[in-house]
Structure formats: structure tokens, C-alpha cells
């Protein structure tokens, strides 16, 4: 009988869990939780309510501090509901104990941290993760991060960053999924699923935070924190969709951005924070400001002081103040003076408490510190696998890669070959350099196992102009059969927040080192470690093999080595366009056509005719990227059949009603001699529409594993969601149009098929 009861109970429980999994926003609609919140709100003083609406940092890693550190007293008095940058079970539990045992209403604290691409087990930087085109593996990585963070007391991550970024100068392009809203939305949802798990209350689930709402990635000239001007249709079409995807996936919190968006600071922008996020999308979690972004309304020029800034941000829809010290000292007075209705404060407190209840913090406020001594072997394996999937092979002349190391001498040269700290990338959370296996360590081990030898020479530092190490490097190259060069950016200083660059070449004197090594005449493989597209024109002309490896995380060395030696085959694809010149930026594949479009032109001479001259072109650079969005080679060769469609005409009416769909397919064949994963992509273009539409838009993708000689029919479905857009009347509908579709290996390839979309 007891056994039966347990079985029944398990069945019921699993039913509950899967019901919640099927409904990722279930946590936001639990009547029992709402009545608990009602009861709490009745007991709370105004000061205690304000306390739930502020968060402070232990230390000041990313901005000016507030000068406050009286957190223990504030927590004991119920005047502080959340802290961030405090980690570790002992540290968080000590603070939590004060909240739970000493504060009048025993409301638990919520601890936050920027867990961006791993907690201790660092995965590749997010731009690299996006280059996997594999949302399922990104979800797994986010789950590992959530597991490690939650055991250390951190139940809230400031991730995912879902800002679309079309300008490689912007340092924070490294934190997102690149330039495309469709891929960006898929990645955004994957992170949320990974962090929040089947249910937010699971012991290893953490709340995600979709940031930076919104338009931060459109910073003018790629300079961080800079103004963004985004016409409303572009906002709807490109910048908002990844955020909406996170709401649909159940993201518990949002972060408002720093920049002025269309002259209204994003942290005081009622149109985005209230109209779109709350009213249109029905978001039930809470919005936290970015670091001091409420205080920054003062230099931005819309608030004379912190009290006005607090009122503007709060009334626009920012529930919680991060580090501005504006709500703490001023929100209660704003209520007393009638500027802010207390009912609005109650609503914001409700949203914060809703997330705390959903996380189960009231029942399980403490962390258990489990697994904090070391990275688990299976997590390291996953980190390696993700890194391998993220690398993008840009060039491989004469099949130089994979290398046959057997009995060979390989010169390993460059400042990124043996720098463990750099591998952790920007926002390394609690990653430790000692967990990193560098390329030097891994390559030496594997090459020696194959009776080969590695000659290592650093050559230069990332940023120096001293060429002291050049002769050693050149000497190593000369006495080796092959050279592997590990060059790139400084992850901390040149990528991530406040890491914008006006120049996109290899920093310091690495270009000179590259040229000196290539001049030896040895076959060279260039590995580019970077958080953004770099300008690689010289290398593209003179180096036979180039692979973009981003900042790969703790398993950098084994992952790169596996690809170099062919244990695995490259399968990553670019999610950002690589420019030929900085002057092309912003550069993105899904641009509109001009009235005077042109392909690549002869730049060695002036145009000969007016038809050549008066085109949309530069006189000194091609329009096209050096490497386009979606591009990446494998160790095999592929053929794509012509694109096939299930119908050559459809009706917009049926598509809008959801009763019509179009199937698009192609036969993809591995014609080479190695098994590979091919990332098959679906693009569309619509013409004859009420507004101009991009020359291509990604609307589907799939990673398919293909053995040598194998082929597969890869099929996609297009319906209302994929074909609608915000038209001239600002209606989000499918319009009659001429539709072109491509099943393609990247954003410029594939064979087009035509479909007429009639009334």
C-alpha cells in the first residue's frame, strides 16, 4: 500500500513537473503564490517594500560604486532584498541567515551574478556559443552554469545578453549571438531553458535575466554606452524578437539598458518597458536596471537629481534599482509626496517576490556548496564539445588541415598559445585559470603521443610593440615542418564591456609577427582568438589555413588540438559578418537593397562609365564581407541540390490564418571523405511588398551529421511566423509578395526557388 502511494505520488509529481516544463511561464501564474504575496504585502512597511526593489554589489567590478557597504544592517532591517557579486555557500548563507532569521518578515535574499558563459566551468564566450548553431548544446551549457551557480548560492544570472549587434567595433558583440534576430531568438530561448530548467523551483535552477532591454547593441559607431537611434519598425523586426523569445521561454527577469534609445534613455523608456514588455508580451517577472543606469539619467540630461531619476525610471517600468542608490533613499518619499502611487510600488514588490517564491527561496534559502572543489569531468567534456562546435574554419587551402602530426615537428607560436587566463574570456565569472588546459599543453601531449615534437615560442605579447621575441619565433618556425600561430585580442581589455575598438586588426605587433613567420615559407595555420570579427585581409591572402576560435573556455587546448589533428571536424558557422575594412561597419548580411546595388567591383582603377561609377559602392573597398554570415568550412565537401518547394503559389490570407504552410527542402550530400556536421540554412527574400525587405533573412537552420558519401533531404517549414513582418501600416502580417527561398550552406550560397504569395 505504502509502495503504491509512493508510485502514485511520483506519477503525480512527474505530471506536475512536465506540465510546468510544457508551460515555461507556469511560475508566473500560481494562485497560491499570489495569495502568499498578498499576505506579505499587507504586513510590509513602505521601507520594507522599497528594500525589495534595490540591489547592491559586493565590490564594484563594472562601474562606479555607491560607497555603501552597510549591507548587513540593511538586510537585518528588511531594507535590502538582493545582493550581487557575493558568491560561495558560506558567504551567501551568512548573509541569508541574517535575512531569514533577523529581518522582521524573514524574506530571503536573492543573490545575483554575471554568469555569462559558465560559472566555474567556463564555456566559449557567447559569440562562440552562437557559432555552434546548436541551441541544444547551448542549453546544456547553461544548465551546467546554473547547477554550479545554484550550489554556490547564486540563483540569479544576468544572462542571456540577447542584444543584436551589427557592428564589430562594439566590444559587447562578444556577449551575444551576433547579427541575426532568428538565430539570436533561438539562442536566447536556449539559455533561458538551460538556466531555469524544467521548473524555476528546481534545486539547480536559476532565474535568467534578459538584457539589455533594448537597443544597446545599436550603439552609434560601436562605442559602448553610446546613443542608439532605431526606427520603430527596425526595433520590432530586429532588436525586440530575441527578447520576446525569452519571455515566451519563461525568463524571470529583464535588465534595462544604459543607452538613450530614440532620445529616451532605455532605463526610463515607458514604451519599451511598459507598453511592449508588460502590455503586449505579458511579462510577469521583474525588471532590474543596469548598473547605475538610473543614476545615469542625470548626465544623459533627463533628470536633475537622483529623486527625479528614481521617479522617471520607476514610472517607466524599472522595478529594481541596481547600484544607483536612487530608489533606496528616494522611493519612499516619492510615494509620500504622491509622485509615485503606492499601488505601483506594491506591484513591483509583487513581481520580485513572485520570482523569489518561484525559485523556492522561501522554503530552501540556503546553498549546499556541493561540487565547489573542482570541475566535474562530464562538465569539462561538455565544455570541450561546445568549444569544438564553436570554431569556424575560414580557410583551408590544399587541405592543410587536419595536420598529420605523426613524426612531425610543429612550431607553436603566439601570445595566446599558452595563456590560461585569456581562455576564460570576458565575464569569466568564477572561472579559474588553473582549470584551463592551454593549447600548448594539449597540443604537446597529443603530438608527442604521435612521436612528433612541438617547438613553442611566444613570439610577442598581445599588446606590445617590442619585437624581442620575433627571432626565437622565426627560428622555431624554420626548424619545424608546420607552424601553428595563436594570435588575437586581449579578452579582458579589448572585448566585452567598455571594450570597443576603432581598429579591427590584430593588436600590438602581432601582424608583423605573422608576416615574419609566413616569410619563412613554412605552411602556417592561423588560429584567431577574438571576441569579434577582426579584419583578416592579409592573412586571407597569404596564410593557407585560418580558424576562428573565439575565447574557448576551460577546454581551449584539447578542443583546438582535436580540430587541428582531425580527431573532430570543424562545424561552426559565423553569426557575424567579417569585414574587409572597419569602414564597412556596421556590416550585416540581412541589409536592404539599394536602388543601385552592385557586386564586387574593380578597385584598381577609376570607374569607366557612369553605370560603373554611380552605384552604391566604396571607391576603395568592396561592399561584400571578407567572410559572410553563416560561413564556415568543414574537412569535407558538400553539394546542395536545387531548392525544392511544396507549392509555387500560396495565399497570404491562408498564411495569416495559419492554414497554409510551405515546405522547402534540399538534398545535402557529403561528397568528401570525412564524416562531418553540416549546418544547413534556410533563407528567404520577399519583394513586391509595401516596405523594403532584407536581401536575405535566415528562417531556419539544422545541424546534420553526414558520413562520407551520405546524403540527406533537409526540410524546413515556412508559415505565418516566418513570413510576417511589420508592414507599412505597422501591422505584423504576411503580405502578398514574390518569395525567394534558398536552402544554403551560408548567407550567399544556395540555389533559389520562387513562390508567389497572392492575396
Using the minimum distance from each CB to ligand BGC, give the nearer residue, 266 or 757: 266
Among all residues, whose Cβ is closest to ligand BGC? 158
**Alpha carbon of 123 to those of 47, 115, 679: distances in Å?**
41, 11, 21
| Peptide bond connecting 720 to the previous residue in cis, omega within 30 degrees of 0 | no
63 binds ligand BGC (CB under 6 A): yes
Using the minimum distance from each CB to ligand BGC, give the nearer residue, 162 or 439: 162
In 3-state terms, what secondary structure has residue 190?
helix
Letters for 456-495 (x = contact with ligand BGC by CB under 6 A, - = none) are ----------------------------------------
Using the minimum distance from each CB to ligand BGC, give the nearer residue, 291 or 357: 291
DSSP for 652-705, please give it: HHHHHHT---EEEEEEEEE-SSS-EEEEEEEEEEEESSSS--BS-EEEEEEEEE
552 binds ligand BGC (CB under 6 A): no
497 binds ligand BGC (CB under 6 A): yes
Give the N- to C-terminal CA distance of the chain in Å, as an integer: 64
259 binds ligand BGC (CB under 6 A): no
The CB-of-54 to ligand BGC minimum distance in angstroms stands at 14
The CB-of-218 to ligand BGC minimum distance in angstroms stands at 15
Cβ–Cβ contacts within 10 Å for residue 163, how many? 28
The CB-of-644 to ligand BGC minimum distance in angstroms stands at 44
| Peptide bond connecting 76 to the previous residue in cis, omega within 30 degrees of 0 | no
The CB-of-308 to ligand BGC minimum distance in angstroms stands at 22
Using the minimum distance from each CB to ligand BGC, give the nearer residue, 48 or 290: 290
DSSP class of residue 235 equals I
Evaluate whether 655 touches 723 at the Cβ level (below 8 Å): yes
**Alpha carbon of 62 to those of 168, 291, 458, 613: distances in Å?**
21, 8, 31, 48
What radius of gyration do the chain's Cα atoms show?
27
Cβ–Cβ contacts within 10 Å for residue 758, how many? 11
∠127-669-748 over CA atoms, to 5°? Answer: 45
Cell 615560442 belongs to 457
Using the minimum distance from each CB to ligand BGC, give the nearer residue, 267 or 348: 267
Cell 526557388 belongs to 753
Using the minimum distance from each CB to ligand BGC, give the nearer residue, 158 or 716: 158
Rounded to whole angstroms, the Cα distance separating 475 from 411 reads 9
Rounded to whole angstroms, the Cα distance separating 480 from 412 reads 9
The CB-of-154 to ligand BGC minimum distance in angstroms stands at 12
The CB-of-423 to ligand BGC minimum distance in angstroms stands at 21
- E strands, 232-387, in order: 253-256, 260-261, 264-265, 286-289, 321-322
The CB-of-746 to ligand BGC minimum distance in angstroms stands at 31
**Alpha carbon of 697 to those of 567, 620, 684: distances in Å?**
34, 28, 5
Evaluate whether 143 touches 86 at the Cβ level (below 8 Å): no
SS (H, E, C) 402-463: CCCCCCCEEEEECCCCCCHHHHCCCCCCCCCHHHCCCHHHHHHHHHHHCCCEEEEECCCCCC
Using the minimum distance from each CB to ligand BGC, give the nearer residue, 133 or 291: 291
Q: Taking CB under 6 A as the criterion, which residues in 94-123 touch ligand BGC?
A: 114
Using the minimum distance from each CB to ligand BGC, give the nearer residue, 62 or 740: 62
Using the minimum distance from each CB to ligand BGC, give the nearer residue, 123 or 158: 158
The CB-of-291 to ligand BGC minimum distance in angstroms stands at 4
158 binds ligand BGC (CB under 6 A): yes
Using the minimum distance from each CB to ligand BGC, give the nearer residue, 71 or 456: 71
The CB-of-116 to ligand BGC minimum distance in angstroms stands at 8
Cell 508567389 belongs to 756
Evaluated on CA atoms 560, 421, 162, 574, the torsion sign reads: negative
Give catalytic residues, as residue numbers: 290
The CB-of-52 to ligand BGC minimum distance in angstroms stands at 19
Q: Taking CB under 6 A as the criterion, which residues in 373-392 touch ligand BGC?
A: none
Helix (H) or strand (E) holding 317: none
Rounded to whole angstroms, the Cα distance separating 158 from 141 reads 15
Rounded to whole angstroms, the Cα distance separating 3 from 286 reads 42
Residues within the interface to ligand BGC (CB under 6 A): 62-63, 114, 158, 211, 290-291, 497
Amino acid at each position: 500500500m505504502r509502495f503504491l502511494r509512493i508510485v502514485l505520488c511520483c506519477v503525480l509529481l512527474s505530471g506536475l513537473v512536465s506540465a510546468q516544463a510544457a508551460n515555461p511561464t507556469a511560475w508566473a501564474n500560481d494562485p497560491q503564490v499570489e495569495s502568499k504575496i498578498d499576505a506579505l504585502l499587507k504586513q510590509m512597511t513602505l521601507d520594507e517594500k522599497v528594500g525589495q526593489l534595490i540591489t547592491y554589489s559586493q565590490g564594484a567590478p563594472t562601474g562606479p560604486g555607491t560607497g555603501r557597504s552597510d549591507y548587513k544592517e540593511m538586510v537585518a532591517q528588511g531594507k535590502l532584498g538582493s545582493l550581487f557579486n557575493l558568491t560561495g555557500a558560506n558567504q551567501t548563507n551568512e548573509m541569508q541567515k541574517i535575512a531569514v532569521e533577523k529581518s522582521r518578515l524573514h524574506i530571503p535574499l536573492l543573490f545575483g551574478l554575471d554568469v555569462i558563459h559558465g560559472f566555474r566551468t567556463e564555456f566559449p564566450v557567447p559569440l562562440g556559443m552562437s557559432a555552434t548553431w546548436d541551441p541544444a548544446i547551448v542549453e546544456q551549457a547553461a544548465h551546467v552554469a546554473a547547477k554550479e551557480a545554484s550550489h554556490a548560492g547564486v540563483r540569479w544570472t544576468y544572462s542571456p545578453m540577447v542584444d543584436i549587434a551589427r557592428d564589430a567595433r562594439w566590444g559587447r558583440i562578444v556577449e551575444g549571438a551576433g547579427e541575426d534576430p532568428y538565430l539570436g531568438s533561438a539562442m536566447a530561448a536556449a539559455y533561458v531553458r538551460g538556466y531555469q530548467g524544467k521548473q524555476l523551483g528546481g534545486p539547480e535552477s536559476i532565474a535568467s535575466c534578459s538584457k539589455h532591454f533594448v537597443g544597446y547593441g545599436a550603439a552609434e559607431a560601436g562605442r559602448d554606452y553610446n546613443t542608439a537611434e532605431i526606427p520603430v519598425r527596425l526595433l520590432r523586426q530586429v532588436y525586440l524578437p530575441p527578447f520576446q523569445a525569452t519571455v515566451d521561454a519563461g525568463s524571470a527577469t529583464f535588465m534595462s539598458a544604459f543607452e538613450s534609445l530614440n532620445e529616451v534613455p532605455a532605463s526610463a523608456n515607458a514604451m519599451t518597458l511598459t507598453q511592449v514588455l508588460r502590455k503586449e508580451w505579458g511579462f510577469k517577472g521583474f525588471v532590474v536596471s543596469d548598473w547605475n543606469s538610473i543614476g545615469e539619467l542625470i548626465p544623459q540630461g533627463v533628470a536633475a537629481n537622483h529623486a527625479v531619476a528614481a521617479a522617471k525610471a520607476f514610472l517607466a517600468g524599472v522595478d529594481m534599482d541596481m547600484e544607483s542608490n536612487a530608489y533606496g533613499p528616494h522611493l519612499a518619499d516619492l510615494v509620500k509626496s504622491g509622485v509615485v502611487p503606492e499601488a505601483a510600488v506594491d506591484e513591483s514588490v509583487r513581481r520580485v517576490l513572485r520570482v523569489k517564491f518561484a525559485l523556492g527561496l522561501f522554503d530552501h534559502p540556503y546553498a549546499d556548496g556541493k561540487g565547489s572543489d573542482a570541475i566535474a569531468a562530464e562538465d569539462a567534456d561538455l565544455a570541450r564539445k561546445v568549444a569544438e562546435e564553436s570554431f569556424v574554419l575560414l580557410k583551408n587551402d590544399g587541405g592543410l588541415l587536419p595536420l598529420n602530426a605523426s613524426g612531425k615537428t610543429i612550431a607553436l607560436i603566439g601570445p595566446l598559445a599558452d595563456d590560461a587566463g585569456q581562455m576564460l574570456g570576458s565575464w569569466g565569472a568564477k572561472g579559474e585559470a588553473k582549470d584551463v588546459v592551454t593549447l600548448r599543453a594539449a597540443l604537446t601531449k597529443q603530438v608527442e603521443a604521435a612521436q612528433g615534437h612541438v617547438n613553442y615560442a611566444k613570439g610577442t605579447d598581445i599588446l606590445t610593440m617590442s619585437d624581442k621575441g620575433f627571432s626565437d619565433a622565426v627560428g622555431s618556425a624554420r626548424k619545424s615542418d608546420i607552424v601553428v600561430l595563436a594570435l588575437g585580442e586581449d579578452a579582458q581589455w579589448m572585448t566585452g564591456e567598455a571594450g570597443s575598438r576603432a581598429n579591427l586588426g590584430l593588436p600590438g605587433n602581432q601582424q608583423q609577427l605573422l608576416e615574419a613567420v609566413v616569410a619563412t615559407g613554412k605552411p602556417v595555420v592561423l588560429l584567431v582568438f577574438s571576441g569579434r570579427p577582426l579584419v583578416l585581409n592579409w592573412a586571407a591572402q597569404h596564410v593557407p589555413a585560418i580558424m576562428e576560435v573565439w575565447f574557448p573556455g576551460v577546454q581551449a587546448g584539447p578542443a583546438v588540438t582535436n580540430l587541428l589533428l582531425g580527431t573532430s571536424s570543424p562545424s561552426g558557422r559565423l553569426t557575424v559578418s567579417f569585414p574587409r575594412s572597419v569602414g564597412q561597419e556596421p556590416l550585416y548580411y540581412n541589409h536592404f537593397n539599394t536602388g543601385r546595388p552592385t557586386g564586387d567591383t574593380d578597385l584598381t582603377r577609376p570607374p569607366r562609365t557612369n553605370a560603373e561609377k554611380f552605384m552604391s559602392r566604396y571607391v576603395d573597398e568592396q561592399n561584400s564581407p571578407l567572410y559572410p554570415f553563416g560561413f564556415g568550412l568543414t574537412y569535407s565537401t558538400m553539394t546542395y541540390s536545387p531548392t525544392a518547394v511544396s507549392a509555387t503559389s500560396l495565399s497570404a490570407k491562408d498564411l495569416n490564418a495559419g492554414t497554409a504552410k510551405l515546405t522547402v527542402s534540399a538534398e545535402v550530400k557529403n561528397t568528401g571523405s570525412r564524416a562531418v556536421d553540416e549546418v544547413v540554412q534556410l533563407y528567404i527574400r520577399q519583394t513586391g511588398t509595401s516596405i523594403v525587405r532584407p536581401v536575405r533573412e535566415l528562417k531556419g537552420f539544422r545541424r546534420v551529421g553526414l558520413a562520407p558519401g551520405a546524403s540527406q533531404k533537409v526540410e524546413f517549414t515556412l508559415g505565418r511566423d516566418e513570413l510576417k513582418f511589420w508592414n507599412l501600416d505597422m501591422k505584423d502580417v504576411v503580405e502578398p509578395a514574390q518569395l525567394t527561398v534558398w536552402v544554403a550552406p551560408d548567407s550567399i550560397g544556395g540555389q533559389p526557388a520562387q513562390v508567389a504569395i497572392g492575396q
